[in-house]
Amino acid sequence: MFELSECTLCGKNVDALNRVELEGTIVEVCDSCVKFGRAVETKLYKPMTKKLQLTKLAENNTELAVDYGTRVKKAREARTLTRAEFAQAINERESVIKRVEGQTMAPDDMLARKIERFLEIRLKEKYKV
């Protein structure tokens, strides 16, 4: 069994991605989005799936909550926002919000802060050293 991967540009689920350079950044895109960048490698591949690891922030003894995706989705739905509306409100891509809610992507500190402020929720919890 294989897992479908999501195109960084259009969000379409495909079984293989291409790496292209787009405005100085290497991104993984589907066959139809290759035309928007310069191919870095022509070989198609299946990305390795990694288990999500908790992000530990040593400076303030906090870590990303285990159920961060559920928290984001419930808070967004409680405000009757679609993913697209929420993404636009915090100036992010809808595909990023989808990955955060599905817990296939852990938000970095800046994204977590934007989500926390807008939805008025906590995504980080204190841990004991």
Sorted by where each starts, the structural domains of the chain and their CATH numbers stand as: 5-45 (no CATH), 56-126 (1.10.260.40)
First-to-final CA distance of the chain? 39
Q: Pick out the chain residues at pLDDT < 50.
A: 1, 43, 48-58
Task: Give dist(CA 94, CA 86) in Å, integer.
Answer: 8
- pLDDT tens digits, residue range 91-117? 999 999 999 999 999 999 899 999 999
The tens digit of pLDDT for each residue in 89-98 reads 999 999 999 9
The per-residue pLDDT for 41 is 63
Predicted TM-score of the model (pTM): 0.54
Distance CA 72, CA 64 (A): 12
What gap in Å lies between CA 85 and CA 104, rounded to an integer?
21
